[in-house]
Amino acid sequence: MTDYYEILGVERDASPEQIKKAYRRLARELHPDVAGEAGEERFKDVARAYEVLSNPDKRRQYDQGVDPTAPGGGAGGGFGAGFGFQDIFETFFGGGQAAQGPIPRARRGQDALVRMDVDLAEATFGAKRELQVDTAVACSTCGGNGARPGTSLRTCEVCAGRGNVQRVARSFLGQVMTTAPCTACGGYGTVIPEACADCAGEGRVRSRRTLTVNVPAGVDTGTRIKLTAQGEVGPGGGPAGDLYVEIRERPHETFVRRGDDLHCTLPVPMTAAALGTVLELDTLDGAQEIDLRPGTQPGQIVTLKGLGVGHLHAGGRGDLHVHVEVEVPTGLDDAQTELLRSLATLRGEERPEPRLASTHSGMFGRLRDKLSGR
């Protein structure tokens, strides 16, 4: 008696799922369209083995020493009722929507992406903005079903509403039935007898809408804000996708943003830096006093805590770093020149000795340390 377990390459206690998996693998390898005529006989053996082992009654007879496909062997020869043509179809052509029923006309719409420019103040404090978008919306004339008002969808006469049709083809296995989407209705199971004039049967139209976007504090260029179900409405009046608003921050004329910190440069006269002074600086939060101590050096940084950009997720705000730029006077008159010469004499700086400063000090060192977080 032929060993069907050996033909499929499974153990005698193999589960039905293991038998089905082994059969599908061998059937793909040995199908004549793949292996040619050389694999035709073995393909028949594999099919016969699966016919027996996939049927509980036939497998029980076979395990008791009776081949149910042999002449006089119980169920008789050939491909009996236990052999699944659906398995053959799924093996070579796959399953899919056609075998499951009609395709729904209403499908989810696509997500949409738009860009919005914001200024530094809006990114710092957050804002509420109006945004106009051109997207697909449900057709108000037909309500999204695509049919002209006063008419309705009609069941497809070709597939009787199933969305698929069955065809019978002859092969060396006999008659094989396959299932394919109905070409008359496109697989929907229904047809639109008279399409809506406004949407041409699609169930949606293009329209311009105005949306309100809440811009949170801390957004930066590249930040995306998700507006759920505000994207494209799907065909057939299906649910809308999502709308993503991508932020682009416009450069500011005074402040430079690095992360959530702001940086700016404050020019200071040489005399004010030497003697010390109090200056007023216009910030995003209004006027703020800057207290410069006597002897303020070029490149010195004055930090104003909490006057930077809002943190997007953590709350709070970054800092404002003011970089002092000491201005050396030019165009001195005689009196001013004489005063500076007297000062240089008093300080013993008429002919200063040249010396190089360490790279860890001075303006560049302080700036580098500040930016590196030291």
CATH code of the domain covering residue 9 = 1.10.287.110
Question: Is 80 exceeded by the pLDDT of residue 86?
Answer: no
Strands (DSSP E) contained in 21-173 are 112-118, 127-138, 154-155, 164-171
Residue 183 within any structural domain of the chain: no
Residue 103 within any structural domain of the chain: no
From residue 122, alpha-carbon distances to 84, 106, 214, 256, 357 in Å are 66, 39, 11, 15, 42
Question: Is 50 exceeded by the pLDDT of residue 202?
Answer: yes
Question: Is 70 exceeded by the pLDDT of residue 85?
Answer: no
219 and 268 in a single domain? The answer is: no
232 and 319 in a single domain? The answer is: no
Give the tokens for residue 309: 């950009």
Residue 264 among known ligand-binding residues: no
245 and 269 in a single domain? The answer is: no
pLDDT, mean of residues 332-353: 87
10 and 118 in a single domain? The answer is: no
Question: The domain containing residue 136 runs over which residues?
Answer: 112-153+192-249
Residue 101 within any structural domain of the chain: no
211 and 333 in a single domain? The answer is: no
Contact 69, 128 (CB under 8 A): no
Q: How many domains does the chain have?
A: 3
232 and 126 in a single domain? The answer is: yes
Residue 102 within any structural domain of the chain: no
88 and 122 in a single domain? The answer is: no
Contact 111, 242 (CB under 8 A): yes
Domain endpoint, select from 249, 268, 285: 249
Return the DSSP state at 317: B
Residue 294 within any structural domain of the chain: yes
60 and 120 in a single domain? The answer is: no
Residue 121 within any structural domain of the chain: yes
Question: Is 50 exceeded by the pLDDT of residue 84?
Answer: no
244 and 116 in a single domain? The answer is: yes
Question: Is 70 exceeded by the pLDDT of residue 357?
Answer: no
Measured distance CA(168)–CA(326) in Å, rounded: 92
Question: Is 90 exceeded by the pLDDT of residue 244?
Answer: yes
243 and 267 in a single domain? The answer is: no
Which pLDDT score, from 0 to 100, does residue 180 have? 85
Measured distance CA(95)–CA(164) in Å, rounded: 12
Over residues 205-235, the pLDDT tens digits come to 999 999 999 999 999 999 999 999 999 999 9
Domain endpoint, select from 249, 268, 293: 249
Task: Considering only residues 54 and 90, tell me which one the structure prediction assigns the higher pLDDT.
Answer: 54
Over residues 12-68, the pLDDT tens digits come to 888 988 988 888 888 777 766 566 666 778 888 888 888 888 888 888 888 877 777
Residue 107 within any structural domain of the chain: no
Which pLDDT score, from 0 to 100, does residue 374 have? 55
Over residues 144-174, the pLDDT tens digits come to 999 999 999 999 999 999 999 887 766 655 6
228 and 341 in a single domain? The answer is: no
Residue count (the chain):
374
- How much of the chain exceeds pLDDT 70, in percent? 82
Strand partners, 265: 323
- How much of the chain exceeds pLDDT 90, in percent? 54
CATH number for the domain that contains residue 334: 2.60.260.20
Over residues 250-263, the pLDDT tens digits come to 999 999 999 999 99
Domain endpoint, select from 249, 271, 291: 249
In 3-state terms, what secondary structure has residue 300? coil
22 and 121 in a single domain? The answer is: no
Question: What's the pLDDT band for 190 if we cut at 50, 70, 90?
Answer: very high
Residue 161 within any structural domain of the chain: no
Measured distance CA(83)–CA(195) in Å, rounded: 45
